[in-house]
Structure 1
Amino acid sequence: MPLDKNRRHRRYRFPVRRGPRFRIATHRHGYARPAPHAAHHSFRAMASKKKLSLEHWISYRFGLVASRTGAVMSARYVAPHDLPMPAWRSLAVIARFGPLSAGELGERTSSDPFRVVRAIDLLVKRGLITRNPDPSDRRRARLELTSAGRAVYEEIVQGAIANEKFIRAGLTAQEIRLLESMLDRIDAQVQALSAGLSGPPEADDL
């Protein structure tokens, strides 16, 4: 019995899975892709479930950069003066913003009170800073550099500036301005987070 002409040319389709996308197989035309809008929604759904890897965390990258630059500073310029890095940071901040109280020093170095006190005690013992009562408020001490502290600071800061110039040499002037603007915005976000103005995002949102 001869086959019906229309039936003979009819295409038979059956589902075939190829990875994350669904395709249709035919015996005449190979594979037919799904509609563009369907694929778009599928990829968006997959992307929303993707987690942010550790190496892409801003805080993780900042920590690495700070740790590596600090190691270079310590080995080349700070260690020869027998100073730990927290003491050097305190010395540099007092040189830039002094006179300061212990509380103001802690805020500008983002250090806990215990480390601030240890750094101050060491710098005073070494004769690099003075700790005298504040004339305007006798309840707090005023921290200032001595002449010896200024000399040590000026010697170490030359190495810090050399490091900074080397790092900046990898960026254009426009990139540096953009980076500084972005750092200001990130710092504002961190301060808001620290102040409890906004809660951290859910892990599934990253």
Structure 2
Amino acid sequence: MNNTRASIPLEDWVGYRFGLIAARLGNFIAPMYASRHDLTIPAWRSLAVIARYQPLTAKQLATLTSSDAFKVARAIELLVRRGLIRRDVDKSDRRRASLRLTAEGRKVYKDIEKFAVRVERELTAALDAGELASLRQSLDKLDQQLESRIKVQGWERFLKR
């Protein structure tokens, strides 16, 4: 094992902990929608985001899911092929498509949402109302810090510190 000591132990890195919790939660929920609806993780995320923010373009979907264009394109193709979303040509710009849930997509979304909300409530039951509100506020602050202060500087700047 390497004897060099990090100034912050790995288990205290915010991104590492977020990643672990997100992966564990996703690995718990994914088998439900995979077995009941034959959906992949990117397809489910795309369906959920479209349900929340429709109509969306593929570019907007990629931004809201923090996914690359290739994953989003594959998820869109799967969802269209399965009849869960519609891809309509944008009347104002024929180069773009507008994504919306179909009636079947709404049914599938509602089924998975019902399950996911139950899991979310069980997970957050470990926190009292004040802790949950504080967690959400803290997540908002960290997200804002990442978007407005860190990403705009570029990763190269952090090598110089």
Q: Give the TM-score taking structure 1 as reference length.
A: 0.71
Structure with greater helix percent? 2
Asked whether 1:62 is paired with 2:18, we answer yes
Asked whether 1:196 is paired with 2:147, we answer no
1:5-154 correspondence runs (5 A): 51-154=7-110
Contact 1:94–1:144 (CA under 8 A) maintained in structure 2: yes
Q: Deviations over 1:48-70 (max 9, x none)?
A: x8721111100000000000100
Shift in Å, 1:194: 1.7
Q: Distance in 2 between matches of 1:78 and 1:61?
A: 25
* Mean Cα deviation higher: 193-202 or 154-163: 193-202
Larger Rg: 1
Asked whether 1:158 is paired with 2:111, we answer no
Residues 202 and 69 (structure 1), Cα distance of their counterparts in 2 relative to 1, 3 Å cut: farther
Contact 1:73–1:160 (CA under 8 A) maintained in structure 2: yes
- Number of aligned residue pairs: 155
Q: Deviations over 1:85-128 (max 9, x none)?
A: 10000000000100100000001000000000000001001110
Q: Distance in 2 between matches of 1:202 and 1:65?
A: 31
Determine helix, strand or coil for the equivalent of 1:115: helix
Q: Give the TM-score taking structure 2 as reference length.
A: 0.90
Q: Deviations over 1:141-187 (max 9, x none)?
A: 00000111111001111011001100110001100111111101110
Alignment-mate amino acid for residue 156 of structure 1: I
Shift in Å, 1:202: 6.7
Contact 1:168–1:176 (CA under 8 A) maintained in structure 2: yes
Structure with greater strand percent? 1
Q: Distance in 2 between matches of 1:51 and 1:195?
A: 24
Q: Deviations over 1:24-60 (max 9, x none)?
A: xxxxxxxxxxxxxxxxxxxxxxxxx872111110000
Shift in Å, 1:76: 2.6
Unaligned runs of 5+ in 1: 1-48
Alignment-mate amino acid for residue 116 of structure 1: V
Alignment-mate amino acid for residue 193 of structure 1: I
Contact 1:128–1:146 (CA under 8 A) maintained in structure 2: yes
Determine helix, strand or coil for the equivalent of 2:100: strand
RMSD: 1.8
Determine helix, strand or coil for the equivalent of 2:94: strand
Shift in Å, 1:197: 6.8
Residues 136 and 57 (structure 1), Cα distance of their counterparts in 2 relative to 1, 3 Å cut: same
Contact 1:127–1:146 (CA under 8 A) maintained in structure 2: yes
